[in-house]
Amino acid sequence: MINRRLLKKLAEQNGTPLFVVDHDQLRRNYSQFKRYLPRVQAYYAVKANSDPAIVKTFYEAGASFDVASMPEFRIVYEYIKDMPDKERQAWIWDKIIYANPTKAEATLQELNQYKPLVTYDNYEEIKKIKRHAPLAGLALRIKVPNTGAMVELSSKFGAAPGEAVDLILAADKAGLVVEGLSFHVGSQTTNFQNYVAALELAANLFKEAKDRGYTKMNLLDIGGGFPAPYDDSVKPFRNLAALINRELGRLFPKNIQILAEPGRFMVATAGYAVSKILGKAVRDGKLCYYIDDGVYHTFSGVIFDHCHYHLKAFKRGPTQICSVFGPTCDALDVVSMAEQLPSDLKLGDLLYSENIGAYSHASSTWFNGFAPAKVVHVNQ
């Protein structure tokens, strides 16, 4: 189990900045998802953290995978490439969804050989898929409410409900098979009613498609958005699962396969960041700490993910509100403007952050020449 003592020891052994991944926690998160949503197959959203060791742990636990680029596809493919062709093909069909609704032509050409399941949400994509990946199965992504989500996705992705069945019939006319529907209620969705509204909408579209003569759909992808417990304001996952189970049982017969794309929920609580204080100053009466990690690295979620990661000190002592800045010579590199930290920390002292496993190290850059944090895997 990861604790303060182990984090400090790992930092002393490996240096900082350091990103620590707890694989036991990954397995616990996957197990929890399966326990509370037994009807739903979990397709881990690789973009949340694409570290191959993390993918391997989920693969060994029995997870399926949501990929959104060919590099992500290849990370998963490494674990199945030595299977016999027929077995590998069946595994890809059942275990991978390429869930990026807009794909480059070259991507579709490469995917076609695997007969993949892919998403789409517009007429141009139908033409591209027909031309470059005619062997693919399709899932139509529909636009659903994202109210209250930390990261809203409906403005970029999703067919309007009013044109959804027209898009299904257009794909069918082109000789493609639409296997079902998909949606996403927005990342870190604490408004559980988004799922209720989305499931009701999807059920109505299944009925409309059937009424208009299309009866081939047997799949529903309920996307991601399952919130990580960043703080006490996030209701327990079991509460959301109970709501989803009730609506699935009410709206969708047992022959409809249900899958989901949990990313943040699977990895957020399994990641820790440890950083070192490089500088200390008082500006306009406020204490400021400068650390060797920042928003261009592990704390990228501050910028890209609208997320706030609290920093904690290993040392005890009286605290005050401080600013924390990253190491780059750039004014954007602000980790926090209001962090409660001891006032007597010195250069070289360590800070750590918890619940930073999702959309963090995965977005690290080499901006300003500063290297991303070293990754250490525990309990593999």
Output the domain CATH number for residue 323: 2.40.37.10
Q: What is the pLDDT of residue 153?
A: 59
Q: What is the pLDDT of residue 150?
A: 61
CB-facing half-sphere around the CA of 313: CA atoms within 13 A: 22
Task: Assess whether 122 and 217 both reside in one domain.
Answer: yes
Q: What is the pLDDT of residue 297?
A: 97
Task: Assess whether 210 and 176 both reside in one domain.
Answer: yes
Q: Measured between alpha carbons, how far is residue 310 from residues 34, 301, 322, 356 in Å?
A: 29, 12, 12, 9
DSSP state of 343: T
Q: What is the pLDDT of residue 152?
A: 52
DSSP state of 365: -
Task: Assess whether 216 and 317 both reside in one domain.
Answer: no
Task: Assess whether 53 and 190 both reside in one domain.
Answer: yes
Separation of alpha carbons 262 and 227, rounded Å: 9
Q: Which helix (H) or strand (E) holds 167?
A: helix 161-173
Q: What are phi and psi of 355, to 5 degrees?
A: 55, 40
Task: Assess whether 347 and 281 both reside in one domain.
Answer: yes
pTM above 0.85, yes or no: yes
Q: Which residues of 188-197 are buried (b: 16+ CB within 10 A; e: fewer)?
A: bbbbbebbbb
Whole-angstrom Cα Rg for the chain = 22
Residues 263/224, Cβ–Cβ less than 8 Å = yes
Which amino acid would we find at residue 264?
R
Task: Assess whether 306 and 163 both reside in one domain.
Answer: no
Does the annotation mark 322 as catalytic? Answer: no
| Rounded (5°) CA angle 237-59-365 | 80
At residue 148, does pLDDT exceed 90?
A: no
Mean pLDDT lowest among 26-35, 110-119, 187-196, 339-348: 187-196
Separation of alpha carbons 2 and 255, rounded Å: 42
Domain span holding position 163: 23-267
Q: What is the pLDDT of residue 176?
A: 98
Task: Assess whether 240 and 274 both reside in one domain.
Answer: no
Q: Take residue 353 and report the two structure tokens written for it.
A: 């952050």
Q: Which helix (H) or strand (E) holds 9?
A: helix 4-14
Last residue of a domain, one of 219, 237, 267: 267
- Tens of pLDDT along 263-312? 999 999 999 999 999 999 999 999 999 999 999 999 999 998 888 999 99
Residues 65/71, Cβ–Cβ less than 8 Å = no
Separation of alpha carbons 191 and 173, rounded Å: 38
Q: Take residue 68 and report the two structure tokens written for it.
A: 């959104």
Task: Assess whether 254 and 120 both reside in one domain.
Answer: yes
Number of other residues whose CB lies within 10 A of the CB of residue 131: 12
Instruction: Look up tokens 């929920």; give the residue.
Output: 265
Last residue of a domain, one of 208, 240, 267: 267
Task: Assess whether 223 and 334 both reside in one domain.
Answer: no
Domain tally for the chain?
2
**Confidence category of residue 149, pLDDT binned at 50, 70, 90:** low
Q: What is the CATH number of the domain that holds 231?
A: 3.20.20.10
Task: Assess whether 152 and 225 both reside in one domain.
Answer: yes
Task: Assess whether 8 and 91 both reside in one domain.
Answer: no
Last residue of a domain, one of 246, 267, 288: 267
Helix axes 237-251, 193-211, angle to 10 degrees: 20
Task: Assess whether 217 and 312 both reside in one domain.
Answer: no
